[in-house]
Amino acid sequence: MLLLFSFFWYLRTARALLFALYLWQLKEYHMKRFVAHFRTQKGRRLFFHPFVVLKLGLLALWLFQREAAVTLLILLYIGETVLLFNAKRKRTLLLPVLTRKTAVLILSVLLLQSSFLAAALLFAPGFVFLFLLFFDLFSLLIGSLVVLLWQPYTIFERRRILKRAKEKREKLKELKVVGITGSYGKTSTKELLSHILQKKFFTVKTPEHKNSEMGVAHTILYDLTDEHQVFICEMGAYSKGGVKLLSDMAKPTLGIVTGVNEQHLGVFGSKMNLFSAEGGGELVQSLPSGGALILNDDSKQLHELGPWLQLWNSAFANYIWCSTKGRRDVFAKDVAVMKDRVNFTLVAKDGQEASVNLPLVGGHNVENALLAGAAAKELGMTIVEIAEALKDAPLEASAMQLKKGKNDFDILDSSYSANPDGVFAALEHLKLWQGKKILVMPSLIELGSASSSLHLEIGRKAGEICDTIFITTADEFPSLLKGAKEKGTKEENIVLSEDPEEIAKRILATARKGDVVLLEGRVPPAILSLLEL
């Protein structure tokens, strides 16, 4: 019985330890973001899960009926192991992505778990049940402590790498660096700009979504050479000073601010801190006097707060505004949005203009294309060259992809991440379909004090456009429900469910050719695999 107990305890607890590492990695080892997770309903459930209550009850039972408590706990661990393999089957098992850092952390937690099990069996055989159950109940904390114990070395190594990257960058005197920051649209703008500039320059960019200090440093150290003419650097931050740190290392000569919203207000703490980083304050401080800062005038908050950027650098004056709504320094006119592409005329204030056939999904991509085009123009390309380059822009440059579902319905996959502006843009795009419109999305996170009001607005927009709404997390469901009902959506058509199979089954039962399903934000990945043709 002891061997059976130890085996199933090991499987179940290894999963819990690896989940702790997954969560730290997801939050980019940022303490505020990690702690913020436990303010969500999913986070709180980790402490108040029915299995936790049952184990506490078995702990009390052990004091009186040890054999019965052990037997029941073995059965519970068997049940948890079955759930583990079921999660793997349904592709909902959450594990850290393997990197050099996570490999060290995984080995550390598994070695600690194995050592604890061996020590309990060797030195306290009569209390194995008690010790292992305590380890189980505190597994999330134990996994987190392992991460924190490695932090001093991580910090030392981080500082060493950042210093090396900064020294290397300083030697590249002729290099042009485009720093891109903002609350949303950074990656799409980076990909478009990289695609345009590659037609004329030897360029390098930060890969994928690696926009933190280590991602930027690794790009400088291992990808950037003295042959490169332009370095396109995506800059992400979750606290005041984050973009300044990246700017001090990358030394941008040209900046882009894609837009500002409340997406990370919860971790920045205040709108002023958020605007300092994602709004361009710290970026403009780092730009040389001969540089330029390109701004998205379609972003409401950036439009209102942009003039205040001079407070961060009073000596800097070269601001370039882009717009799809008015005649600014670089703007779009005659915008025509179709399901799978956007056509518009790209116009510069100096009179240059050219037609663009942009093969990306969603009208919001025009904003990203304008920002990228303005940067390319500053680097010496003509509007005609830029427009020609945009005609074969890679589909991956858009955060939203158009796919085909099993019943020949369309899927708008916008599931990498979500921010308020992106949600509204994706919902607006649904209007191009004549059939049923189905939305699947979680509540947004890290919105701070603006969360309830923003979810109410999202609910209203969804209720105005969508026939059926599936919400996969419960945190702001009441606000979403209230907003959708205000626009006439029946309550039975607004479904709260975390089960990918249930959601997919209900969609497949009704969705047909001419209908569209929008997957917005971090929905369970299994939903797409169950729906996609």
pLDDT tens digits for range 80-135: 999 999 888 877 888 999 988 999 999 999 999 999 999 999 988 888 888 999 99
What are the CA-CA distances from residue 304 to residues 298, 299, 326, 449, 497 (Å)? 10, 9, 15, 20, 38
Which domain-ending residue is among 353, 382, 397? 397
In a domain, 159, yes or no: no
**Number of folded domains in the chain?**
3
Tell me the DSSP string of 130-164: HHHHHHHHTHHHHHHHHHHHTHHHHHHHHHHHHHH
| C-alpha gyration radius of the chain | 26
pLDDT tens digits for range 398-447: 989 999 999 999 999 998 877 888 899 999 999 999 999 999 999 987 77
Residue 158: both structure tokens together: 């981080």
CATH code of 520's domain: 3.90.190.20
Residues 385 and 415 in one domain: no
Q: Which residues are registered as beta bridge partners of 176?
A: 230
Closest CA to 179 of 310, 275, 289, 280: 280
Residues 385 and 467 in one domain: no
Q: What is the mean pLDDT of residues 376-382?
A: 97
In a domain, 154, yes or no: no
Q: What is the pLDDT of residue 164?
A: 97
The DSSP letter of residue 40 is S
In a domain, 140, yes or no: yes
pLDDT tens digits for range 446-471: 777 788 999 999 999 999 999 999 99
DSSP collapsed to 3 states, 56-111: HHHHHHHCCCHHHHHHHHHHHHHHHHHHHHHHHHCCCCCCCCCCHHHHHHHHHHHH
Residue 519, φ and ψ in degrees, nearest 5? -100, 105
pLDDT tens digits for range 254-282: 999 999 887 666 666 677 777 787 888 89
Residues 145 and 199 in one domain: no
Residues 389 and 411 in one domain: no
Dist. CA 147–CA 203, nearest whole Å: 36
pLDDT higher than threshold 90 for residue 35: no
Between strands 410-414 and 401-404, the pairing is: antiparallel
Residue 259, φ and ψ in degrees, nearest 5? 150, 160
Say which amino acid occupies 280: G
In a domain, 423, yes or no: yes
Q: What is the pLDDT of residue 310?
A: 85
Residues 124 and 248 in one domain: no
Q: What is the mean pLDDT of residues 15-43?
A: 88
Question: Residue 191 CB: number of other CB atoms within 10 A?
Answer: 23
Q: Which residues are registered as beta bridge partners of 344?
A: 356
Our measurement of the distance from residue 180's CA atom to the centroid of its chain's CA atoms, rounded to an integer in Å, reads 16
CATH code of 207's domain: 3.40.1190.10
Domain housing 444: 401-531
Residues 201 and 247 in one domain: yes
Q: Are 128 and 56 in contact (CB under 8 A)?
A: no
Between strands 353-358 and 254-257, the pairing is: unpaired
In a domain, 96, yes or no: yes
Residues 186 and 287 in one domain: yes
Closest CA to 292 of 319, 259, 260: 319
